[in-house]
Structure formats: C-alpha cells, structure tokens
C-alpha cells in the first residue's frame, strides 16, 4: 500500500561546492607557503566523447580552485609501452602533483599497466594496486574518487554505518571493491555482489545502505528496497540514467542520490581535493 513517503535527496552538487571551497583555501595556503601552483595532469587516450567531456570537467574544476590543469592527449594508436613511458615522464615531473589516466582507455591498450606506472604519491584517482592495498588496510591513502565521494556523502548526511548492513552491487577495482573496503573500515557489515550473485533482490531487501555500481540502467527495483534504507546510485548510463529505478525507490528509501547531481559532482570534487593534498604532501606543507 502506498505510504505517501518520499525519500530526501542527497545533494551532491551542494557537497561538491563545499569541498571545492575548502580546496581553494588549501591551494591558497600552498601557493603562499611555497610559490608553487598545485597541478593535475589529465591523460586522455583517443577521443571517446564521454572521456573528452569528463577530462574537460576535471580541468575546469582545477581552474575554479586556482590549480593548474595539464592537458595530455595521446592518439588511440599509441602502444602500451608509449603510454606507460608518458605516465612515467609525468611521474618524474616535479611540477605535476597528481596524475589522472582517464578510463576506459581504447583497446587493446593495457590500462592496468598505465595505472601501475603512476607513482603512488601522485595516484590521486586511487587506481594503482598499491593504493587499493592502502585503502583495504585503512592506511593513509587517496582512495578511488567515486567510493571516496560516496563516503563523504554518507558522512554529510550523517548516515550511521557502524553496525549497519551495507550491500555493494558491483566489484570493479575502481568502484565496488574499494567501496566495500571503505564501508568495512567504517564498521559496516558488507555484502559484495556481482554478476554471479544468486537471488540478489533477496540480499538487497536486508540492507540498510545500498550502493548500486552495476552499469545497468534502472537495475535496482523499488520493491527490493527495505523501508528506510539509504540508496546511493553510482551508476551513470546513457541518457543520464542511474543504476536504480529512482521513482520506484523514492517511497521506500529514506535518503537517495539523484542522477545526475548525486555521486558524480562529489567524485570530481574529491579528485581535486586529493590533488591539493598530494601537492601539500610532496611540498612538505601541513594543511
Ligand atoms: N559517478 C561517477 O563518478 C562514476 C565513476 C565511475 C563509474 N560510474 C558508473 O558506475 C557504474 C559501474 O561502473 P564500473 O566502472 O564499476 O563498472 P564495471 O567495471 O563494468 O563493473 C560493473 C560491475 O557490476 C557487476 N554486474 C554486472 N551485471 C550485474 C548483474 N546483473 N548483477 C549483479 N552485478 C552485476 C559486474 O559483475 P562481474 O564483476 O561479475 O562482471 C561488475 O562487478 C557504471 O554505471 C559507471 O558509469 C560512475
């Protein structure tokens, strides 16, 4: 029976503005103390239209907070060795503090080889195995920006994670896996699901916090969601559609992220924040 209840929206744009205001102040302090402008290199291979837009947005956010974006564009015909060499060159460049290799990279390039070539102190997008290891072990790190941004959203909306049952749908190295680790580190009990999971809707029904990171439009149905659950939709499918059936989720959920305007803006703001923190660490500045 309909209850007339509607979930409160988690405003990712507002949180992103708050994070970026904080980053601008950090950048000012770094510049005042060292004269150095923090810099993020965005590496784009090929001309995938979505990747072109994402790298442009990331550079624009750098400009907004007074950081220096460095645009690196490489042809899709490049070899893995050449890509790795370029990433290593940026890794050795003292004026570059963070490196983002935009993914997906075109086939048959080995994106893992490119990620592993990023020195860990410049891995502001949290893609290397060394950084994932730090995240799992709850060591100081720059975790992958989407799960790190989701943790910020959960904190902003004071979602109790200690002892809660969280379900993560998706196990990719940049999203589902670090997400599950970060939730475990926050003392949630975590169920991690993937394409081989059996009876997934029944598992979702028990969750207090649902993180959808599947890459399938409207995958999570409203009828799967426990009354009062917090729903985070990390999905971004063609036509601005998330991984959760938003209309169906509005009634059972207590809090929900919209798509767009939820996880996406916080992800980018987190990347920019990581870059400022990386610059400060490399320059020996306490923020
Ligand atoms: N908002 C942002 O900033 C941001 C950033 C990154 C990604 N995203 C979005 O987040 C989504 C996931 O991205 P990703 O890079 O993690 O994708 P991915 O690498 O394709 O991983 C998708 C995951 O979903 C699982 N899956 C696929 N079909 C399933 C099913 N029927 N039931 C249960 N699990 C299933 C896969 O399982 P297997 O491992 O078994 O194949 C895999 O672990 C996409 O919509 C992407 O656009 C958003």
pLDDT, one tens digit per residue, over 232-284 is 999 999 999 999 999 999 999 999 999 999 999 999 999 999 999 999 999 99
Residue 251, domain CATH: 3.40.50.720
Number of domains in the chain: 2
Q: Identify the pLDDT of residue 29.
A: 98
> How many angstroms does the Cα of residue 66 sit away from the middle of ligand 1?
33
Q: Give ligand 1 pocket residues (Cβ under 6 A).
A: 146, 169-172, 174-176, 193-197, 200, 213-216, 234-237, 243, 263-264, 267
Task: Assess whether 260 and 152 both reside in one domain.
Answer: yes
Looking at residue 98, its pLDDT comes to 98
Residues catalogued as catalytic? 58, 102, 125
The verdict on 152 and 196 lying in the same domain is yes
Q: Are 67 and 172 contained in the same domain?
A: no
Residues 180, 97 within the same domain: no
pTM for the model stands at 0.97
CATH of the domain at 103: 3.40.50.10860
- What pLDDT shows up at residue 2? 65
* Token couple for 34: 């060292």
Is the separation of the CB atoms in 100 and 42 below 8 Å? yes
Q: How far apart are CA 121 and CA 112, in angstroms?
A: 17
Token pair belonging to 266:
């916080």
pLDDT value of position 35: 98
Contact (Cβ atoms closer than 8 angstroms) between residue 210 and residue 7: no
Q: Is 153 inside a domain boundary?
A: yes
**Domain limit, last residue, from 91, 122, 153:** 122
Q: What is the pLDDT of residue 212?
A: 98
Structure tokens at 21: 């205001």
Same domain, 70 and 181: no
Residue 28 within a domain: no
CA of 195 from ligand 1 middle (Å) equals 10
- Determine the residue of 170, 197, 210, 237 to mutate for testing ligand 1's pocket, defined as the one with the most ligand atoms within 8 A of the Cβ atom: 170
In the reported structure, the alpha carbon of residue 180 is separated from the centroid of ligand 1 by a whole-number distance in angstroms of 13
How would you class 163 by CB atoms within 10 Å of its CB: exposed for 0-12, middle for 13-18, buried for 19 or more?
exposed
Q: Residue 149 is part of which domain span?
A: 144-264
Structure confidence by residue, pLDDT tens digits, 114-130: 999 999 999 999 999 99
- DSSP code at position 166: E
Residue 54 covered by a domain: yes
Q: Which residues of the chain have pLDDT under 70?
A: 1-2
Q: Residue 216's CB: how many other CB atoms inside 10 A?
A: 15
Identify whether residues 161 and 247 lie together within a single domain: yes
Q: Which helix (H) or strand (E) holds 5?
A: none
Residues 103 and 191 in one domain: no
């Amino acid at each position: 029976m309909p209850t007339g209840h509607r979930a409160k929206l988690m405003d990712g744009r507002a949180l992103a503005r708050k994070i970026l205001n904080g980053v601008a102040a950090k950048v000012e302090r770094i510049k005042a103390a060292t004269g150095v402008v923090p810099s993020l290199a965005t590496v784009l291979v090929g001309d995938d239209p979505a990747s072109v837009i994402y790298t442009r947005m990331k550079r624009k956010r750098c400009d907004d907070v007074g950081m220096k974006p460095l645009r690196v564009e490489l042809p899709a015909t490049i070899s893995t060795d050449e890509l790795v060499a370029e990433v290593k060159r940026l890794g050795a460049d003292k004026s570059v503090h963070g490196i983002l290799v935009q993914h997906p990279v075109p086939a048959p390039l080995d994106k893992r080889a490119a990620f592993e070539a990023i020195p860990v102190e410049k891995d502001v997008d949290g893609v290397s195995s060394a950084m994932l290891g730090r995240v799992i072990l709850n060591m100081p790190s720059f975790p992958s920006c989407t799960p790190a941004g989701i943790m910020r959203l959960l904190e902003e909306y004071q979602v109790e994670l200690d002892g809660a049952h969280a379900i993560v749908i998706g196990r990719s190295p940049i999203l589902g896996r670090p997400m599950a680790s970060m939730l475990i580190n926050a003392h949630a009990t975590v169920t991690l699901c993937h394409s081989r999971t059996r009876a997934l809707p029944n598992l979702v029904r028990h969750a207090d916090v649902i993180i959808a990171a599947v890459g399938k439009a409207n995958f999570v149905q409203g009828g799967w969601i426990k009354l009062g659950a917090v729903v985070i939709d990390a999905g971004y499918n063609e036509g601005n559609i998330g991984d959760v059936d938003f209309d169906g989720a509005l009634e059972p959920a207590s809090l929900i992220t919209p798509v767009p305007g939820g996880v996406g803006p916080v992800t980018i703001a987190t990347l920019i924040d990581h870059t400022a923190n990386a610059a400060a660490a490399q320059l020996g500045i306490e923020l």
